[in-house]
Amino acid sequence: METEHVLRLCVRVHTGGFHRETDLSVPVSSSVADIAEEVAWLVGAPHPQTPWQATTAAGAPVPPEEPLGAVGPPDGGVLVLAPGHPSPRPVPRDAAEALADAALAGRAHPGGLAQATAATGVVMLAVLVAHAAPAWLVAAVAATACLLLLAWRRELTAAAMALPPLCGLAASGWVLGGTVPEDSSGWAAALGAGLAAAGVGLAAVAALRPHRPGAGCLAAGVVVLLVCACATGAGVLSGATGAATVAVAVALICGWAAPAIAQTAAGLSVPRLPTAGEEVTLAGVEVPDAAARAGRARRVHAGVVCGAAAVAVAALPWLAWTTRGSSPAWFALAFTLCVAAACGLHALRHADPVALWANLAVALAGLVAAAPAATGVPGAAPVALGITGAVAAAALTAPLWAGRLSDPEPTTLVWWERAESTALAAAVPLAAHLAGVFTWLRALG
């Protein structure tokens, strides 16, 4: 069929609580009366009591007996089908109405002011307690205040977000007792207690909140707990350096697996083309509510990359600091630079702004962590300081050359992919060495 005789439309069917849309190609000679019943049958709409009435997306009526090619929306436009009833025509707003609506839309919500005031009260209470109490008791008092606020007013989002980390800090500080552990078992016990308390706080939030947590927040929380659990196990075996290395490695794995995780969690499946001789109806499975599932997939993806980035940003400086003055400082310097290069190149190729900023945050944290790692090399090796200084100079002059990266050529993207793969390949053995994998293998032999 020639395209000039076909009209491609997005048809939206609205009747009562039923809302569905589908993309169709119809002959330009067809009218609304010709296609309305068949379209309603295709999308599974209930039969209305009155004839179908068609309008454009802006609300202008479409004559039911006239050909769509003459009176309907243009090619690629939107056609809305709804049971016939008198509906007012769209009325353009004048300047006064537009200004009034804009003022109402921009007005600050009183709930935000109340939350900010409550947060200020919690901070003041914590400062007063900190005058004559240890840090873990301050965190416990703040967590108790957030719990009471959340039990009283369950819609306070700030209290719900602050409760789990405050519980974790209070438990970790109580286990440490204000002293620095001499071995890795003390750090592992503190981290384990913090994770358990944070889980209890998260359960309290889930029990008190009237609505389920969003898919993005839930995904971020699961990723953070997974990475911290892996880091705790590594800390028991290899100490603080191994825990930080494993945290960064698992966070990177979660970040790179985020698209697959989001697709699976949202129940999306990639359609496949039919093979030779196969019926078109058997080629792929239609996904119901594809638009809603796609939005859920985007939120899950954002939650996974943000959770992984949060842990990696905290673990990279920790890794650099724990290796200062020892031989692993060289490996920590190389590992942080490889992670920064891989995440930075990955961020440049990302279209989603949330994923771009999450990967960029990890890259910048890797650059920052490279500085203490370089100064912590035994003897302050000039090579380490020179490499880190050159990278710092390149970062300092970023406003001069970053604009050239906004619209790269296809061949440039290919080279970026190769450089990213090279950086990841170099980071794997470095992470294995810092985590103590090679030491375990030698012990087995």
pLDDT in tens, 281-324: 555 556 667 777 778 888 888 888 888 888 888 888 888 888 77
In our burial notation (b when 16+ CB lie closer than 10 A, e otherwise), range 348-366 reads bebeeebbbebbbbbbbbb
Q: According to the model, what pLDDT value does residue 117 have?
A: 66
80 torsion bin: left (phi>0), alpha (psi -120 to 50), beta (else):
beta
Alpha helices of 3-109 — where are they, by DSSP H? 32-43, 68-71, 95-105
Closest CA to 81 of 100, 68, 99: 68
Q: Is the pTM of this model over 0.85?
A: no
Q: Are strands 6-15 and 61-62 parallel, antiparallel or unpaired?
A: unpaired
Separation CA 287–CA 293 (nearest Å): 9
Closest CA to 426 of 354, 358, 345, 352: 345
Q: Give me the numbers of helices (H) and strands (E) for the chain, helices first please.
A: 16, 5
Closest CA to 366 of 338, 328, 326: 338
Separation CA 368–CA 392 (nearest Å): 9
Identify the three-state secondary structure at position 83. Answer: strand
Q: How many CB atoms lie within 10 A of CB 108?
A: 7
Separation CA 165–CA 324 (nearest Å): 28
What's the burial of 17, exposed, middle or buried (CB within 10 Å: 0-12/13-18/19+)?
Answer: exposed
Q: Which ranges of the chain have pLDDT less than 70? A: 1-3, 85-122, 125-132, 157-158, 178-185, 187-188, 209-214, 270-288, 380, 445
Q: Which two tokens mark 212?
A: 């389920």
Residue with token string 């083309």: 273
Contact of 220 with 306, CB cutoff 8 Å: yes
CA distances from 240 to 86, 186, 362, 434 (A): 71, 10, 20, 10
Give me the residue spans of the domains in the chain.
3-83, 259-269+291-445
Q: Express each pLDDT in 12-51 by its tens digit.
A: 888 877 888 888 888 888 888 888 888 888 888 888 877 8
Q: Which residues pair with 24 in a beta bridge?
A: 9
Residue with token string 């919690």: 122
Separation CA 2–CA 25 (nearest Å): 11
Separation CA 149–CA 121 (nearest Å): 11
Q: According to the model, what pLDDT value does residue 1 have?
A: 42
121-129's contacts with Cβ under 8 Å and 24+ in sequence apart are 121/145, 122/146, 122/149, 122/162
Q: Are strands 6-15 and 78-83 parallel, antiparallel or unpaired?
A: parallel
Separation CA 124–CA 145 (nearest Å): 11
Four-residue CA torsion sign, 70, 76, 78, 84 = positive
Q: According to the model, what pLDDT value does residue 21 have?
A: 86
The type of residue at 439 is T
CA atoms within 13 A of residue 206's CA, in its CB half-sphere: 11
Domain range 3-83, CATH architecture: Roll (3.10)
The DSSP-derived string for 104-130 is HHTSPPHHHHHHHHHHHHHHHHHHHHH
Q: Are strands 18-27 and 6-15 parallel, antiparallel or unpaired?
A: antiparallel
Separation CA 380–CA 383 (nearest Å): 9
